[in-house]
Amino acid sequence: MRHRFAAVSAAALMCLAGATGMAEAKPTSLYAPSAMVFSVTQGDDAAAGTVLRAATLSCMPSAQGTHPDPKAACTTLNSTGGAFDRLLAAPDVNRACPMHYAPVTVTADGVWQGGRVSWKHTFANSCTMSATLNGNAVFAF
């Protein structure tokens, strides 16, 4: 009886120690997480449209992912201060785009500097998208 009491007490103590350890979870990195998925979708509804292309990007602790130039994309995103609408520029005045409606939607979903992001913008057509993003590294994939 005495041995069973000691074994139960030891097991209970180990469970408490384990539970306490879980309550004191510490971050595994010095950096806030930044992992995003970017897409270009045909249509004005990103959820129902056809995805034309997509790329992943993680910026902390180093730039990586399927994006062709993750370092440039992370630098551009850092310059927005988290305001993804700042990725859009005034359209290039030296570029003429047709006036037909064939919508294209760009999206950014994931976590940016520790905060959840779900951003999208629809353009009238792919020419307007290209002129407005104007060489923007984030959507250059």
Q: Give the rounded distance of the alpha carbon of 65 from its chain centre.
A: 11
Under 8 Å between Cβ of 34 and 62: no
Whether the predicted model's global pTM rises above the 0.85 cut: no
Cβ 128 vs Cβ 91: under 8 Å: yes
Confidence of residue 134 (pLDDT cuts 50, 70, 90): confident
| pLDDT at residue 138, rounded to an integer | 93
User: φ and ψ at 50, to 5 degrees?
Assistant: -90, 120
Residue count of the chain, please give it. 141
- What is the residue type of 52? L
pLDDT of residue 102: 96
pLDDT category, 71, cuts 50, 70, 90? very high
pLDDT of residue 34: 86
Return the bridge partners of 116, or none: 111
Tens of pLDDT, residue by residue over 102-125, are 999 999 999 998 899 999 999 999
CB-based contacts of 120-124 (< 8 A; 24+ apart in sequence)? 120/46, 121/85, 121/88, 122/44, 124/97
84 contact partners, CB below 8 Å, separation of at least 6: 108, 117, 119
Across 48-113, the runs of DSSP E, i.e. the strands, are: 50-58, 104-112
